[in-house]
Amino acid sequence: MPTKGKIEIQVELCKSCGYCLKHCPQGCIRLAARYNQKGYYPAEFSGGECTGCALCAVVCPETAIEVWRA
């Protein structure tokens, strides 16, 4: 399946709640190995086959995720 979406995460807003990881049906998001300025491990796009469903952006309580459809 071709990639249909692009995920942009504002790492300084992310508080590592993990909601985006749990709700992504494609498993395209993981926690980074480095801290952000607030001391959290921010979410990051893991390079999977994003379908552009935007569930990650909908469940993010910090509105740190934007999804762009191709």
Reference 21, options 34, 3, 9; nearest CA is: 9
For the chain, the structural domain boundaries read 5-69
Tens of pLDDT, residues 16-62: 999 999 999 999 999 999 999 999 999 999 988 899 999 999 999 99
Domain 5-69 is found in CATH 3.30.70.20: yes
Residue-level pLDDT at 22: 97
Q: How far apart are CA 29 and CA 1, in angstroms?
A: 17
